[in-house]
């Protein structure tokens, strides 16, 4: 039985659908989600959805006591970088306690394999590009710190209890599949906010800084299609089943795209102008984040299959179909 925490969230629900599409039996999947930000309607009706919170140890222990869980994908976590700078307690208490309670339940019930949602934010400001996994771990916000701490905790649970893990350090998850798109409340991410300008005539995108030392002055990020991320989880589960050693892997496309270039591609794909104004830099924004994904290719045979045009096309289709203005 596979337990997916946070399986009603953006990357989580895409992964659930993706696994079922590849032939996973929905009866062998349990989604555990507190539904604070997750969308229950995005979890297939054939999958058991348990509403529960990892910070409540009894709730997660109960899931393990009632089901023979032999592997876990752990998505559930607070994930707003900006909020983590104003309310670090929320991030440290919930993300760390939640992860620990999950690992304790795994230990108590002999579950030995976990795929963990980590993030490129563990690196902070990288010293060299593209970023390889041996880059210094030096987060610049509490959100990234919680991911870095959990990666360390995982190392100890492997060391002491033999729980094997794959930490997947996502770069910028984006795009849409299975009629599910990127929709957070509040929304803080570039692509959905730029899309909003196409459908809401009162909304203007604020571009955070146009004076970076990059090719066009705008921040550069590495965008990965959410279905390619889902595919990496499938591969990571297989990797762990073959008994290989625990590892942390970058998941990026190795292509840096600037904020201005994203706007240009959205305009090209939609045929409409994106309204924007360039404002102050956002605190804590690294100038450029681009992954080397050589290790993921070596260990998992993973390579992203969808480029930035497919990302933007799928996002545009989804926003168009869901807009009710």
Residues in region 238-267 near ligand UDP by CB under 6 A:
259
Q: Is 189 in the site for ligand UDP (CB under 6 A)?
A: yes
Whole-angstrom distance, CA of residue 225 vs CA of residue 21:
17
Report how far residue 35's alpha carbon sits from residue 246's, in angstroms, rounded to the nearest whole number: 30
Question: Judged by CB under 6 A, does residue 190 bind ligand UDP?
Answer: yes
Q: Which stretch binds ligand UDP (CB under 6 A): 5-13, 33-41, 93-101, 186-194?
A: 186-194
Residue 322 CB partners (closer than 8 Å, separation 6+): 181, 183
- Token output for 166: 């794959």
Q: Active site residue: 80, 91, 143, 157, which one?
A: 143
Count of Cβ atoms closer than 10 Å to residue 236 Cβ: 27
Interface of this chain with ligand UDP, residues 66 to 125, rule: CB under 6 A = 81
Nearer to ligand UDP, 105 or 219 (CB): 219
Residue 216 found at the interface with ligand UDP (CB under 6 A):
no
Minimum CB distance to ligand UDP, residue 232 (Å): 18
Q: Kindly state the smallest distance separating residue 284's Cβ from ligand UDP, in Å.
A: 8
Q: How far is CA 194 from CA 61, 174, 259, 315, in A?
A: 42, 13, 10, 11
When CB distances to ligand UDP are compared, the closest residue is 219
Cα separation, 47 vs 16, whole angstroms: 9
Choose between 26 and 82: whose C-beta lies nearer to ligand UDP. Answer: 82
Report the residue number, 57 or 275, with the smaller CB distance to ligand UDP.
Answer: 275
**Which of 141, 172, 197, 246 forms a contact with ligand UDP (CB under 6 A)?**
172
Q: Tell me, yes or no, if 123 is annotated catalytic.
A: no
Residues 271-310 close enough to bind ligand UDP by CB under 6 A: 282, 285
Please tell me whether residue 208 binds ligand UDP under the rule CB under 6 A.
Answer: yes
Structural contact between residues 211 and 250, judged by C-beta atoms closer than 8 angstroms: no
To the nearest 10°, the Cα dihedral for 81, 87, 92, 98? -80
Q: Which residues touch 147 (CB under 8 Å, ≥6 apart)?
A: 77, 95, 118, 119, 121, 122, 139, 169
Q: Please, which residue, 79 or 163, has the CB nearer to ligand UDP?
A: 79
- Please tell me whether residue 319 binds ligand UDP under the rule CB under 6 A: no
- 324 contacts 277 by C-beta, under 8 angstroms: no
Binding site for ligand UDP (CB under 6 A): 81, 172, 188-190, 193, 205-208, 219, 221, 259, 282, 285
- Catalytic residues, by residue number, are 143
């Amino acid at each position: 039985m596979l337990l997916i925490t946070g399986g009603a969230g953006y990357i989580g629900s895409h992964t659930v659908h993706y696994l079922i599409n590849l032939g996973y039996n929905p009866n062998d999947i349990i989604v555990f989600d507190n539904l604070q930000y997750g969308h229950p309607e995005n979890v297939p009706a054939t999958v058991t959805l348990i509403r529960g919170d990892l910070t409540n140890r009894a709730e997660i222990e109960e899931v393990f006591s009632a089901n023979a869980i032999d592997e876990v994908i752990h998505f559930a976590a607070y994930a707003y970088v900006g909020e983590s700078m104003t309310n670090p307690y929320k991030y440290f208490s919930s993300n760390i306690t939640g992860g620990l309670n999950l690992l304790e339940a795994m230990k108590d019930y002999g579950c030995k394999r976990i795929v963990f949602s980590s993030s490129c934010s563990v690196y902070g400001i990288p010293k060299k590009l593209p970023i390889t996994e041996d880059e210094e771990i030096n987060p610049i916000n509490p959100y990234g710190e919680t991911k870095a701490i959990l990666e360390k905790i995982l190392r100890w649970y492997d060391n002491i209890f033999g729980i094997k893990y794959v930490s997947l350090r996502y770069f910028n998850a984006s795009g849409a599949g299975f009629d599910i798109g990127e929709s957070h409340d509040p929304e803080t991410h570039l692509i959905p906010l730029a899309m909003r300008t196409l459908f809401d005539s009162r909304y203007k995108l604020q571009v955070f800084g146009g004076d970076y030392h990059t090719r066009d002055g705008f921040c550069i990020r590495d965008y990965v299609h959410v279905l390619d991320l889902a595919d990496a989880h499938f591969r990571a589960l297989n990797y762990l089943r073959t008994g290989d050693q625990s590892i942390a892997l970058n998941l990026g496309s190795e292509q840096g795209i600037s904020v201005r270039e994203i706007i240009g591609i959205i305009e090209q794909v939609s045929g409409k102008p994106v309204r924007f104004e360039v404002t102050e830099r956002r605190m804590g924004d690294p100038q450029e984040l681009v992954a080397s994904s050589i290790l993921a290719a070596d260990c998992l045979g993973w390579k992203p299959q969808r480029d930035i045009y497919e990302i933007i096309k799928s996002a545009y289709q989804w926003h168009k179909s869901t807009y009710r203005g």
